[in-house]
């Protein structure tokens, strides 16, 4: 029909090129920008957060992050490994597994720690993150945001020092993933992995 309006012979090379271009334009128009932006889980999978992704899947929290607007403060695999080593665990998976077996309220310590890394809502700009000051995390506890010599940071209730943001990623639903250089602690992890005597 369009080729008739433009007086292009159907089946001609020009008609086929025009048709292909029209289809490509329609696809750009009909595919929302949201579909091009990665899900939180895709960001974690592609950027060095395999341990965090494993822990989220284990506690069935992945869909919560993908389906809601969140700010996720994400420790990298190296951070999980260093924490596990400092606590005397075999590795990050051993650390996560041990947390899974510790009850905290109506959940387990792993889910409690993970939800302490998520803020349910939108903080898309650095100034919003900083002006928040104290933010209520998904587990109900608060964390403190600030700025220091190394940039923007967030501090857990039990952490002695703040965790600095080392990278940031934009996800679907205006969510953000901020890579951080230490695990945010709402509970004391001492004794999770007893050091053999």
d(CA 137, CA 119): 5
| Pairing mode of beta strands 70-75, 176-180 | parallel
How much is the pLDDT for 151?
84
The residue ranges of the chain whose pLDDT is under 70 are: 1-35, 124-127, 130-132, 195-197
How much is the pLDDT for 26?
42
Asked whether the CA dihedral 175, 112, 80, 97 is positive or negative, the reply is negative
CA 55 vs CA 25, 37, 66, 85, 114: distances in Å: 41, 23, 15, 17, 8
* 39 closest CA partner among 58, 65, 4: 65
Residues 6+ apart with CB under 8 A from 18: 2, 3, 6, 8
How much is the pLDDT for 27?
44
How much is the pLDDT for 194?
76
How much is the pLDDT for 48?
92
| Inter-axis angle of helices 50-58 and 77-87, nearest 10 | 80
Q: What is the pLDDT of residues 137-151, one digit of tens each?
A: 999 999 999 888 888
- CB of 163 closer than 8 Å to CB of 180: yes
How much is the pLDDT for 14?
47
d(CA 162, CA 171): 24
Token pair for residue 22?
């029209």
- What radius of gyration, in Å, describes the C-alpha atoms of the chain? 23
Q: What number of helices (H) and strands (E) belong to the chain?
A: 10, 9
Domains and CATH numbers, the chain: 1-31 (no CATH), 37-180 (2.30.180.10)
How much is the pLDDT for 191?
87
């Amino acid at each position: 029909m369009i080729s008739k309006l433009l007086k292009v012979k159907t089946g001609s090379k020009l008609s086929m090129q025009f048709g292909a271009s029209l289809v490509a334009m329609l696809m750009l128009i009909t595919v929302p920008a949201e579909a091009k932006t990665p899900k939180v889980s895709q960001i974690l999978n592609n950027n060095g957060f395999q341990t965090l992704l494993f822990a989220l899947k284990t506690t069935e929290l992945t869909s919560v992050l993908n389906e809601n607007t969140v700010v996720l403060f994400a420790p990298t695999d190296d951070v999980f490994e260093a924490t596990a080593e400092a606590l005397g665990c075999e590795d990050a998976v051993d650390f996560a597994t041990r947390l899974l077996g510790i009850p905290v309220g109506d959940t387990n310590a792993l889910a409690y720690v993970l939800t302490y890394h998520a803020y349910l809502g939108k903080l898309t700009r650095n100034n919003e993150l900083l002006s928040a000051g104290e933010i209520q995390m998904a587990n109900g506890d608060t964390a403190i945001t600030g700025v220091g010599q190394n940039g923007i940071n967030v501090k857990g209730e039990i952490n002695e020092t703040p965790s600095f943001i080392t990278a940031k990623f934009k996800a679907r639903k205006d969510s953000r993933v901020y890579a951080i250089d230490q695990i945010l602690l709402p509970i004391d992890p001492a004794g999770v992995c007893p050091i053999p005597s």
